[in-house]
Structure 1
Amino acid sequence: MTHIRLTLVPSALAGFLVAACTSLHAQVALQPKSMPRVAQVDPRYVSFNVEAIEITGGRFWKPFPKKDQPPAAPGTTTDPYQYRPPIDLSRTKLRKLASALAPSYMRVSGTWRNSTYFQDDDAPQMSTPPAGFKGVMTRAQWKGAIDFAHAVGADLVTSVAISDGTRDANGDWTTAQAKAFFYFTRKAGGQIAATEFLNEPTFAAHGAAPKGYDEVAFANDVKAFRTFLKAESPDTIYLGPGSIGEGVPMIVGMPMPKMLSTEKMLQASGPVFDAFSYHVYTTLSPRCVGKMGLSWEKVLTPAYLDRNPDTEAFYAKLRDTYMPGKQIWLTETGEAGCGGSPWASSFIDTFRFADQLGSLARRNVQTVMVNTLASSDYGLLNEETLNPRPDYWLALLWKRLMGTTVLNPGPAPDATLRIYAHCMKDAPSGVSVVALNIDKNAEHAITLPAAERYTLTAPELLSESMMLNGKPLQAGDDGTLPAIAGERTKAGEQKLPPASITFFTVRGAGNAACR
C-alpha cells in the first residue's frame, strides 16, 4: 500500500473512494514554527554504560552465534556467560567512536559492581576476592576508565559495593570501600558526576545483597550512604533508587522472582536522593527465559514500543509522590535484559531505541544510558571488531541533530507513525523532527517546510548494516566516521518508506522556543 492524497471529487465517486482508501495512511501536516516547548533534557541525554565486569574482566553475557556460525546441538545446555579479559579502553577506534557521542555520561556499574572489591594498591589484580566479594577492581583498571572518560568527553556515573564484605558484625554497611574508591578517583584526576548506592535494589537477592535484605535495610543503607557522600563528594548527584522490573512486566505471563517494592523503599527512606533513577528492559533475552522471549516479529508494534513510556509513567508517579520536583534519569537500558536478544544488534532495534529517546524526552527524562557501549549483543559497537551497529548510528544522528529543548509536534493520525521534535542542535530557531514509520508494508507521508532529510533504512529488518539516504554507513578501521550529510528537500510532501526512520532538520523554522 502507498499513500495517496485525497482531493475533491464528484459526489458519485466520493463514497467509493473513501471506502477504497480507509486502509491507506492519512497525510500529516507539520508546522515546525509553532511547535510549543514541552521539556528540556540534559546535553548528555544519549549516554552509555561500560559494565564494571568489563573493567575488571570476568564472565559476562555470551554473544549469540551469528548466521555463519553453527548453532548449539539440540538438547545442549548453553552457558549464557563467557569470560572476557578486562576491556582495553586505550584503543584508538573505541575512543574515536565514543568521542563522537560526546557529551555523554559513562556509567560504570551493573549487577557485578554490587560485589566488586576495590583493590586500593598498585599490586597486580588479586586472584581471589576477599571474603564477601565476588570480583576485584584494581587502581590501574579504574584509572583506565577515568582516563577513557576524560578522552571521550564523558562524565562518570557509578555505584558502590554493598555485599557482605562491606558489612560490619551487625550487618550494617560501612564506608571503607566507598571512601577508598572516591578518594582514589579524585587522586587520579577524576570526578564522579553522579552515583547510585547499588544496582537494581528491587532484585537485591540476585545482586549480592545480604540474606534477608528488605526495604527497611535498603532505607538504612541509603541514608548512611547519603551522609557519607555529602561529606566525601558533595558535588556528586545522588541518584536512586535505581529500580527495575515494576509497572510493566518484562515477559507477559512469566512469574517474576521475589522483588522489593520501590514504593516501600521510598516510604522507608524518605527523600534522600537528589534525582530519581530507574532502569528498563522491555523484554528479556532467551538466555534467561528461553522460548518465552519476545519474537522479533512483534517489535514493530505500538504495544511493544509503548512499554518504554508506560514503564516511565509508573516510576514517574512514584517520583511525583515521594520525590516531587526531582529530575528523573534512566541509568540503564537496552534491547533486552540478560545481554540482549539475537536481533539486538540488528536494524529492527533502532525503532525501539528511537521511540524510547523520543517518547522519554517528551516526558522530561533527563538522560538515557544505553547498556552497553561495546559488549554482548546489545552493545552499540561489536565487541570484537568495534564496528558500529545500527543503534550506534541512530545515537550519532540524535546527538548531531536533536537539541535539548523538546517540542510537541502534534498528534500523529496513525499508530504506525511516531513523530518527535526538538529544537535543532546549534541552529537558533531551527527545528529537528524524527518520524518513525513502523508499518512494514506501507508508506506514510508528511508535509513540512524546506528541510534536510536523513532517512535510515536497511536491506532487511534483521540486517546489522544500515543505510543513510540509500548509502551504507560504515566507519573506517581506525574509527573515522563517514560524512553524515542530509539531502535537501523542498517544502511540501515527504514520503516515509515502510520500516524507516527519518530525521528532518528545518534550519529556518523560526520557532521562538528555539532561540
Structure 2
Amino acid sequence: MRSLKALAGIGIGLIATTGGMAATLQPVAIDAGALPLVREIDERFMSFQIGFSHLTGGETWKAYDEMPSADTGKRDFAAIREARVPTDLASPRLRTLTKALGPLYIRYSGTTANSVYFHDSDAPPPASAPAGYTVLLTRKAWKGAIDFAHAVDAKVLTSFTNSEGVRDVSHAWTPRMAASWMAYTRAIGGELYAAELFNEPNAPEPPRIPKGHTAEEYARDFAAFRGFMSQAAPRTKLAGPGTAKMGVGGIPSIEWVTSEDYATASPAPKFDIVSYHYYPALAERCAPASSVQGMSADRALSDDWLARPEKEFQAQKALRDRHAPGAKIWLTETGGAACGGLRWQPAFLDVFRFADTHARLARQGLDAMFTHALISGSNGVIDEKTFEPNASYWSALLWRRLMGTRVLDAGPNQAGFHLYAHCQRGVPSGVTLLAINLEAATRTLRIGRGADLYALTAPDLLGRAVQLNGKTLALAVGDALPAIEPKRARGSEVTLAPTSINFIAMPRANNPACRVN
C-alpha cells in the first residue's frame, strides 16, 4: 500500500478515481451465491454514543483548529479541553440524519455521566452542582434525550452516577441519583433497554470516579446496582464491566485493573451483556501523531492499523465464554482514537477504518458496536456545530440500507484489499459485498452476474467531500438526503477505483443462507 505522500507525488492528488490513472491489480473472483453463513447480528448492530456533556453542557475536547500546536501531544487536560453548551437534540436536521441510520441503539454516557446530579424538579436548577457532583442534568434535558431516541427509532443505553455524591459512609454505591432518575424516566414514557453501572471503571478520574476503585469494590457496587434495577427496571439488561481498552500500551491509568479482574471479583457480577470500550490509539491532543501511542495519517490505510480491533475483541470473547456464556458482547464505545478523535477523523481517510471495523467485528462475533460519537468534536459522524454529515456518515448510511443481519464468509482479507459479505437487507436471497480497496490501483471483482455498485471515493483523502459513483454527496433543499443511486454492472466483472470503499448489491445472488432475510 502506498503512503499518502507517495500518492500525492504521482500527480493524481490523494486519490485516483479512474482506472486509467493507475495500474490494475490481479482480479478477485467470488461466487456470492455460494458464500456460507457465519452468524447473525443485531439489527441495531451499528449504533452510536451521544456524550452526556451534550445533555448537561460542560467541558469537552478542544477543536484542533483552536489549539496552539504547542498544546498537541500533551496530557494537560486543562489545555486541551473547552466549555460547551447543551446540544439541541430537537434539531430537524440532526433527527433526519440520525433516523436514516435507524433502527439503532444510542448510548448516553461518557466521563461526564459519572458525576451527574439529576435535578428532579421543574423548578430552576441551582447555579452549580452540589458537593460530590460536577454537572447538572435537568428534567428538560433528559426528556429531550428520551424524545430524541423515540424520534429516531433508537433504544437507549446509559450509565449512572458513581461519584462521591452517591456513596455512603462506607464508600459503597447507592441509588441516590438513580432512583429519582429512573422514576422520572418511567413517568415520561421512557425506558432503558440496557444500562451500565458507570463509565469505564478502570479509568479513574476523581471526583468523577472514586480514586482506587478496585475490582472488589466494583463487584460490591454492581450487586447493589442489580438489586436496585431488578425493582426499578426489571426489563432493562445490565451490561458490564465497560472497561476502557487501548490498542497501545503504556497508559497506566487504564491498565491497573483488567476485564478479567472485574469478571472474577466477588460477589461475581452477573452481566446480561459483556461490554467494553476500545480505541486503537491516542489522538494528537494526548500523544504526538508520529509516536507509538499516536496515529499519523500516512499509516491510516495500513493492514496493521485496520486489524488492531481484532486482538481486543478476541480477548473479550474469551472472557465472555469463560464467565458469561451465551451473553451478547457489545463494544459500547469506540472510535479512531481516545482523547477526542483523530485530527483527520471527519475526513474520507477515516471512512476506511469505520467501514472495516464494523464489517470485521460483525464477522468475528460482536453483537453491537457503538461509535463515539454521533456528534462530538472531531470524532462525530455528524458535525457537532453544523449538523452536516462528516465523511463516515455516508458509509454508515449505505451500511444501513444494504447490509443485512446475516453475515457471510467472503474469505480471508488480502493485503491492501478487504472483502466482506452480508445478506442484502430486505432482499431475500440477495447478497451485499463490502469491498475495501486500500491500494492506489484499480481492482477487478469477478462476480459472475450483474450487480449494483455504490462506490465511495473522494477527490482528497483528507477532505470531507465524498463522492458516490463520481457524484458528490450533499444534503438537498430542506435537509433532504440525496438520492442514493447505484451504477449498474451488467457484465460479470466490477471495476473498483483506487482507494475506494464499495458496496456491491447482488439482489439475484440466490444465496440459500439469505432466502429468509
**TM-score of the aligned structures, taking structure 1 as reference length:** 0.91
Corresponding residue SS for 1:244 = strand
- Deviation string 1:304-342 (CA, Å, 9 cap, x unpaired) is 000112221121111111111211011111111111111
**Where do residues 105-504 of structure 1 align in structure 2 (5 Å cutoff)?**
105-205=105-205, 208-245=208-245, 248-249=247-248, 259-268=256-265, 269-291=267-289, 292=291, 293-412=294-413, 414-439=414-439, 441-448=440-447, 449-476=449-476, 478-504=478-504
Q: Distance in 1 between matches of 2:465 and 2:134?
A: 38
Query: In the TM superposition, what whole-angstrom CA distance separates every residue of 1:343-372 from its partner, at most 9, and x where no partner exists?
Result: 010101000011101011101211111111
Once the two structures are TM-superposed, the CA of residue 256 in structure 1 deviates from its matched residue by 5.7
Question: In the aligned structure 1, how far is the partner of 2:221 from the partner of 2:367?
Answer: 26
Say if 1:25 and 1:207 are closer, same or farther in 2 by CA, change over 3 A: farther
Q: Is the 8 A contact 1:271 1:323 kept in 2?
A: no
Q: Structure 1 unaligned runs (5+)?
A: 2-22
Letter of the 1:93 partner, please give it.
Answer: R
The residue type equivalent to 1:184 in the other structure is Y
Task: Give the CA deviation at 1:259.
Answer: 2.6
Structural RMSD (CA): 2.0
Give the number of aligned pairs. 486
- The percent identity for this pair of structures is 40
- Does structure 2 conserve the Cα–Cα contact (< 8 Å) formed by 1:118 and 1:139? yes
The whole-number CA distance in structure 1 between the counterparts of 2:126 and 2:112 is 16
Give the match for residue 72 of structure 1. Answer: 68
Partner residue of 2:8?
Answer: none
Amino acid at match of 1:401: L
Alpha-carbon displacement from aligned partner over 1:64-100 (angstroms, at most 9, x marks no partner): 11xxx8x737579983112111111111111111111
Match of 2:220, SS state, is helix
Separation in 2, partners of 1:38, 1:73: 47
CA contact (8 A) 2:113 2:199 kept: yes
- Cα deviation code 1:221-269 (max 9, x no counterpart): 11111111122111111111111225x32xx566665531110111015
2:177 aligns to what SS in structure 1? helix
Q: Which residue of 2 aligns with 1:19?
A: none
Distance of aligned partners of 1:176 and 1:271 in 2 relative to their CA distance in 1, 3 Å threshold: closer
Q: Is the 8 A contact 1:341 1:377 kept in 2?
A: yes
Structure 2 CA distance for aligned equivalents of residues 253 and 162 of structure 1: 26
**What letter matches 2:304 in structure 1?**
A
- Which digits, 9 at most, give the CA deviation of each residue in 1:388-438, with x for residues without a partner? 0111111000000000011001234x3111011001001011000000011
| Mapped partners of 2:251, 2:137: distance in 1 | 35
Q: Which residue of 2 aligns with 1:509?
A: 509
Distance 1:447 1:95, change over 3 A: same
Which 5+ residue runs of structure 2 have no aligned equivalent? 2-22
Aligned equivalents of 2:59 and 2:112: distance in 1? 10
TM superposition shift of 1:123: 2.0
What secondary structure is seen at the aligned counterpart in 2 of 1:365?
A: coil
CA separation of 1:255 and 1:25: change in aligned 2, threshold 3 A? farther
Q: CA deviation at 1:206?
A: 5.7
Q: Residue deviations 1:18-38, cap 9 Å, x none?
A: xxxxx9743211111111111
SS at match of 1:50: strand
The answer to whether the Cα contact below 8 Å between 1:204 and 1:260 also exists between their aligned partners in 2 is no
One-letter amino acid matched to 2:305: Y
CA distance in 2: counterparts of 1:253 and 1:213, whole angstroms: 20
What secondary structure is seen at the aligned counterpart in 2 of 1:202? Answer: coil
- Rounded Cα–Cα distance in structure 2 between residues aligned with 1:202 and 1:389: 31
- Secondary structure of the residue that 1:184 maps to in structure 2? helix
Q: Deviations over 1:261-282 (max 9, x none)?
A: 1101110152511011111111
After alignment, is 131-140 or 474-483 more displaced? 474-483
Summarize deviations over 1:139-194 as a string: whole Å, max 9, x none.
11000101111111111110100111000111111112111111111111111011
Return the alpha-carbon distance in structure 2 between the equivalents of residues 126 and 306 of structure 1.
Answer: 48
Summarize the Cα distance change of 1:362–1:333 in structure 2 as closer, same or farther, 3 Å threshold. same
Distance 1:224 1:470 in 2: 56
- Give, in whole Å, the separation in 1 of the partners of 2:276 and 2:409: 25
Inter-partner Cα distance in structure 2 for 1:31 and 1:495: 16
SS of 1:97's partner is helix
The 3-state SS of whatever aligns with 1:348 is helix
Deviation (angstroms), 1:205: 4.4
Distance 2:487 2:207 in 1: 49
Deviates more, 1:199-208 or 1:343-352: 199-208
Task: Give the match's secondary structure for 2:242.
Answer: strand
Match of 1:6 in 2: none
Letter in 2 for 1:444: R
| Structure 1 Cα separation of the partners of residues 493 and 164 of structure 2 | 62
1:137–1:254 distance in 2 versus 1, CA, 3 Å = closer
- C-alpha contact (below 8 Å) 2:457/2:499 kept by paired residues: yes
Q: Bigger CA drift: 23-32 or 207-216? A: 23-32
Tell me the alpha carbon deviations over residues 94-116 of structure 1, each in whole angstroms, 9 at most, x when there is no partner: 11111111101111000110111
Q: Which amino acid aligns with 1:349?
A: D
CA deviation map 1:273-311 (0-9, x unaligned)? 101111111111111223532111011001000011222
Q: After superposition, what is the alpha-carbon deviation per residue over 1:440-476, rounded to whole angstroms, capped at 9, x for unaligned?
A: x222221112110000000111011100000001013
- Is contact 1:36–1:513 with CA below 8 Å preserved after alignment? yes
Q: SS in structure 1 opposite 2:245? A: coil
Residue 62 and residue 342 in structure 1: after superposition, are their counterparts in 2 closer, same or farther (change >3 A)? same
Which residue of structure 2 lines up, in the alignment, with residue 36 of structure 1? Answer: 36
What SS class does the counterpart of residue 79 from structure 2 fall into?
Answer: coil
For the residue of structure 1 that corresponds to 2:367, the secondary structure is strand
**Partner SS for 1:201:** coil
